[in-house]
Amino acid sequence: MSTHPTTINAPEGTPFIEVVREFDATPAQLFKVSTDPALVAQWLGPRDLEMDVIEYDVRPGGRYRYIHRANGREDAFRGVFHTVEQDARIIQTFEWEGAPGEVCLESARYEKTDTGVKLHTQSVFPSVESRDAAVQAGMEYGIRDSMDRLAELLSGDKS
């Protein structure tokens, strides 16, 4: 498995969260596991949750919706893909259905490096308060576990 760390930056007093992680893969490989619904279900979210992908239509104007389940609880998420550039960039909205109207704008950029690909993501929340609520809800744990699971999937290590 990759030993690259995940960097999460959530500057105080801003509505932003930035995540950076390098992977031992190509931009094409990272793009594929980020856009194929069957593969997304294998890494998105903490490993202690089950995930059902209801819809995942990765194209400009395409929609997505998925549900995470654990201990009798369900959390549904949805959004719309706005920009999809093969192996390079995706811009989408993100909304937790438990907080309707709190829609984030998210971007993911795939940067080729000498040894692989670096994923840069940025989430822009509608307010500092909604960003702070996401941080307090434990998003860091979910992000780190997702990035580790993504690295495992890309390396073929399912441990």
Instruction: Quote the tokens at residue 152.
Output: 């495992």
Rounded mean pLDDT, 52-70: 97
Is a pLDDT exceeding 90 seen at residue 124? yes
d(CA 118, CA 69): 29
As a whole-number percent, the residues of the chain with pLDDT over 70 amount to 97
Domains of the chain: 6-155 (3.30.530.20)
- How far apart are the C-alpha atoms of 73 and 62, rounded to whole Å? 27
pTM above 0.75, yes or no: yes
CA atoms of 107 and 90, how far apart (whole Å):
6
Query: Is 82's pLDDT higher than 70?
Result: yes
Instruction: Name the pLDDT band for 73 (thresholds 50, 70, 90).
Output: very high
C-alpha distance from residue 82 to each of 31, 44, 77, 85, 89 (Å): 16, 20, 16, 10, 10
Question: Which residues neighbour 11 within 8 Å (Cβ) at sequence distance 6 or greater?
Answer: none
